[in-house]
Chain A
Amino acid sequence: MTPEQALLETEAPVEMITVVIDGFEVTVPKGTLVIRAAEKLGIQIPRFCDHPLLEPVGACRQCLVDIEINGRAFPKPQASCTIPVENNMIVKTQLTSPVAEKAQAGIMEFLLINHPLDCPVCDKGGECPLQNQAMSTGRPESRYEGVKRTFEKPIAISSQVLLDRERCVLCARCTRFSEQIAGDPFITLNDRGALQQVGIYENDPFESYYSGNTVQICPVGALTGTSYRFRARPFDLVSIDSACEHCASGCAMRTDIRRGKTLRRLAGDDSSVNEEWNCDKGRWAFKYLTSRERVTTPMIRGADGELHEASWPEAIAFAAVGLKGKRAGVLVGGRATVEDAYGYSKFARVALGTNDIDFRARPHSDEETSFLSGIALGLTTSYKDIDKADQVVLLGFEPEEESPIVFLRIYKQVRKRALAVLSDAPFASRGSVKLSAKLVTEISEISGLTSKSVILVGERLSEKTGALSSAVALAEKSGAKLAWIPRRAGERGAIASGAISTLLPGGRPVSDASARVDVAAAWSVDSLPSNPGRTTSEILLALSVKNLDAVVIGGVDPLDISNSALSQLLNSFVLSLEITHSAITAVADVVLPVAAVVEKSGSFQDWQGSSRVFEKAIADSLSRSDVRILSMLADEMGTPINLPTVAATAREISALGKWDGSAVKFESARSVKDLATGDKLNLTSWRLLLDLGTLQDGEANLAGTARTASAHISNSRAEKLGVKAGELISISTDFGSLELPVEISEMSDNEIWVPRNSIGSQVIAHLGFVSGQVSVAKA
């Protein structure tokens, strides 16, 4: 057993060490660095290269202090960011040691001689550790009379990150982050001496999904984000804690607003979730809310077939007429907050009197419905379990693409203790390579799991019949912890809010009479519909065959569901609650504008089931949250749902609480092996993190770092087709076809993989499905 494993087995008590810093005693766990122990006392030692989540490097030498152990003093001042505390250690910082004070002042002076001191035009000015510490530790007047080092500025190390080399203090935070945290060592320090500089490989730009973190942790203005450069001064910004709407990782965020406009978003601190990091999508994809396509006023489709601007009362009245007394369903996409999803759920049951509600704007199955109703809400697996796992199994789940912070967490353990990772992906993606993941073709091949293993199931697993059942069986048999990680931020909260046909809020089964009574009482209604509701595809089918008359849609892209979804809506009354104009608003009878995340308060439940509550960042926004609009509409229909504000909704959710009765029983499904026949290949796909997703609209710099689409096939398949890497192949079905350049991967000869929603590769639009059999030929 390695020491790491031993540590996992028993939570050994941590040895505590007491040191004296500037005359004050402080007791900290063994292994704590001196600089960190000083922080506990409120003693701030200046620093640049030090970062609590990166390995110490001791490069900048700014944090020099005098140290004495057992009465023996170090002959020279020591870098407090590299030395762990020891018993009988006496530390004297700049506050009590003239030697340390002079050493620090000397380093600060050196750091500034080659720095351009261009704070008035630098984005970092006002929030710059160099600026601040030059004030605390530097000289008022420079003694340097020589020539400063200069560089061409700025150079774009990717489309979204710019580098001003002359501002750089060479602390190596960015390069260490890229290597140690993201596993993307695409930036390095080049050259030597004062000409040392951050650089990229000649032909490979800094295309990491996590590159924005380097901008955030740069202690000077050397790395700046292209989209934010020269846009604002930090002291003009109002910073609001916020949550990320892009995926189910659950990141804490900070949104910086100036005069009602989002200028930038940064990773917030939450050690139990995203630590201090986020992905580039979370950081930079917020321009959609100021896009030209933004729905700004309510709109009603007129007799001329065009949408016309309308007042709120007019539009609400029109919508109420269209829905009242009609057979209507509700489709709510994954962007909804817990409160909004609750609003849709209650609106469906109370105002529309139906259980026809589903949050799944994607391919889904009855097996999945059963899994989500019976199992998903009971799962308690968390990031902590990944930290302690002896094995992680990824099923239908590409963490780097589909939940990037989950990826960082797994990668941390892979790097630290070579955590074993298994994946059922058809080939080793870049993320899998970084995780050294072992690929398995069938879930039944997996063995050796223990109660410390973690099985992470992605939403895509439902696309393979029986696979979810196998995953559940595997977890039951081995005792391993199971987690369901959807891609979108609102999905777990939507289940908890009852935005699914089988469940009422709090996980109460629709099929359980006492659960219905429970909720009906809380909602002050006589009864709730008990007949089984329809799923997304069933609602669409019912609409197309006139079994339903109307539908309320919030945040759904029809091409995420199926190629026929849009046409199935054409003959029904469609109420669309949308942020930006879309394929749905183009056919909707009424369009009501709703608030984007930064314009409203609310909460998201991440994949762990933890809630992140956020306040409205743009305080004076007039945009309304979905739930408020639904409440107005329900009033107009004469069937009030009494959810006038997000806060009121949150109170009601909390008062209602969780279901303590028995859950819906999971009906497992038999797995079906669909083997490719003849010359056909099995196509699989998943979404890349940066793709054509609508929430990434309007941010060209971010899009510039998206991976280009290519089709992965095996080497021998490529030989059979007579194509080489980079050459085009055409992939076709009865529905349509697409052409992509080939990338050779180690995979089965019968498999082909393409990105699901990237430029040139939108599989539902081009091929008619997300997975299945395709014909492949040289183009």
Chain B
Amino acid sequence: MDLKTALTPVLSANWDEKDSFTIEGYKRNGGYKAVAKALAMAPDEVIQMIKDSGLRGRGGAGFPTGSKWGFIPQGDNKEHYLVVNADESEPGTCKDTPLLLANPHVLIEGIIIGSYAIRANHAFIYLRGEIVHVYRRVQQAIEDAYKEGLLGKNIGGKGFDLELTLHAGAGAYICGEETALLDSLEGFRGQPRLRPPFPAIAGLYAKPTVVNNVESIASVPAIINNGVEWFQAMGTEKSKGFTLYSLSGHVNNPGQFEAPLGITLRELLELAGGVRTGHKLKFWTPGGSSTPMFTDEHLDIPLDYEGVSAACSMLGTKALQIFDETTCVVRAALRWSEFYKHESCGKCTPCREGTWWLVQMLRDLEDGKGTEADLTKLLDLCDNIAGRSFCALADGAVAPIMSSLKYFRDEYLAHQRNGGCPFDPIASTIFKTVGA
């Protein structure tokens, strides 16, 4: 196999070791060395190093992590907080969960360094509540880190104090939105806050707060250990470094593939053993269900922030859901819409009412009811939702509908001609069936 881009396992380097999640296993592979190195630096030097590295947020938006840290006003005599967003709930997205399960200490190490840099003495991990096994594992890792003096008072004898609190969410997708997360963490209903003020000025408990994705923070120790040049050697011009690509769906070897930013789906599919044998790629999401879908035309798009943007989608969480030709795109769009309707927080009108309406329209379309005019109406509704809502949830909700209509309009019409869905839903399941 001749790949242009090779895998670069950093976060996932030791996942195959049976004790990779323990503090011993982590330390054996060089863990917690970055803490000592970072604590020997001035906090501003740490921020500068992360800025220089070009690390961008891995939660979807791709905002430069170092800049975010730099926004925290220093010398303001206020508490600062670092909050790690581990509320991974997007359909298709499955990178933080395995990372935390296999290597929780890399996150803790990143938290220590990040907190030190922004002068926070209390950090929080907001973890998706449903993944109890991960909760237990992270909780154990935190306890172990406390025991080793890596958390608590006077860390490493350098006079730096840090408390780390693990908080389990109650199962709302909206709490992955950073301000809703902060509300939820404060004990309120999770609904997005009006900005400004931004979290960097008034975040958790109205104090300057950095909210970072798990993978962003977990990438910090490697940068501290190996340096800016090492990190910059990976990736593309504006999207530096390594990241986790999560392949799922109709692919022979689904899973996490840690590679430099800019790898293509064609390369990743080769690494993952190709699309389900005997089938061909129909459509895929570059970064979870809220990123507009791609088709087999897009196999060679570099999967970095700019490359995906240029093709009118978003890199998102690099959750590559692969769908082969057995999949009904209308059905897929309906299932995603049902998710967004269920998860809409209800705060703003277009998201609350729009998703309610979209689901009913898509159900009718799947049942073969309606006319071509309904597709125009559907697109018009999407246009009235996208960019009109309070937060980005509704933009995500219409992305699969608009993009599927763009590439598969005729399939929608086929439902109407056929008086129902022309696909065999069983054929698209990944289990061996008669139709598969």
Report which A residues bind B (CB closer than 8 A): 56-62, 64, 75-77, 82, 102-103, 105-107, 109-111, 113-114, 143-144, 146-147, 149, 169-170, 188-189, 191-196
Contacts and interface: CB of A to CB of B under 8 A. Distances in A.
A263 B194 CA distance: 40
Contact of B356 (A106, A170, A189, A194): A194
Contacts of B238: none
A106 B357 contact: no
A194 B387 contact: no
Interface string B20-51: 00000000000000000000000000000000
Nearest to A106: B384
Contacts of A191: 346
Interface stretch (B323-331, B336-344, B428-436): B336-344
B348 interface: yes
Sort A-B residue pairs by CB-CB distance and give the 9 closest, nearest first: A106-B384, A196-B346, A146-B360, A110-B353, A76-B387, A193-B344, A194-B356, A192-B346, A193-B346
A61 B390 contact: yes
B387 A111 contact: no
Interface in B103-146: none
B12 interface: no
21 contacts: A57-B194, A60-B349, A61-B348, A61-B350, A76-B388, A102-B383, A106-B385, A110-B350, A110-B384, A113-B357, A114-B356, A146-B356, A146-B360, A169-B349, A170-B349, A192-B172, A192-B345, A193-B355, A194-B344, A196-B346, A196-B347
Interface of B is mostly: helix
Nearest to A109: B384
A77 B344 contact: no
A196 B349 contact: no
A60 B189 contact: no
B361 interface: yes
A149 B342 CA distance: 14
A105 to B, nearest CB: 8
Nearest to A170: B346
Contacts of B5: none
A57 B390 CA distance: 10
A704 B403 CA distance: 56
Given A191-B346, A192-B172, A193-B345, A58 B390 contact: yes
Contacts of B360: 146-147
A195 B346 contact: yes
Contacts of A58: 194, 348, 390
A62 B384 contact: no
Interface string B159-199: 00000000000001010000000000000010000100000
B352 interface: yes
A61 B353 CA distance: 12
Interface in B372-415: 377, 381, 383-385, 387-390
Contacts of B316: none
A345 to B, nearest CB: 55
B353 A102 contact: no
B352 A193 contact: yes
Given A110-B357, A113-B356, A103 B388 contact: yes
A106 B350 contact: yes
Contacts of B344: 192-194
A509 to B, nearest CB: 55
Contact of B349 (A75, A110, A149, A188): A110
Contact of A106 (B341, B361, B388): B388
Given A58-B194, A59-B348, A107-B350, A193 B356 contact: yes
A144 B360 CA distance: 10
A191 to B, nearest CB: 7
A77 B388 contact: yes
B343 A193 contact: yes
A286 to B, nearest CB: 37
Nearest to A196: B346
Contacts of B361: 146
Given A76-B387, A170-B347, 16 more contacts: A56-B194, A58-B348, A59-B348, A60-B349, A61-B388, A110-B349, A110-B384, A113-B353, A113-B356, A113-B357, A114-B353, A146-B360, A192-B346, A193-B352, A194-B341, A196-B346
B179 to A, nearest CB: 12
A105 B388 CA distance: 11
Nearest to A146: B360
Nearest to B390: A58
B417 to A, nearest CB: 20
A143 B343 CA distance: 24
B384 A170 contact: no
Contacts of A75: 387
B354 interface: yes
B388 A170 contact: no
A59 B390 contact: yes
A76 B386 CA distance: 9
B346 A194 contact: yes
Contacts of A60: 348-349
Nearest to B351: A193
Interface in B178-233: 189, 194
Given A59-B390, A193-B356, A102 B348 contact: no
A346 to B, nearest CB: 58
A147 B381 CA distance: 16
A111 B387 CA distance: 17
A188 B189 CA distance: 10
B389 A146 contact: no
A149 B341 CA distance: 13
A170 B355 CA distance: 16
B189 A194 contact: no
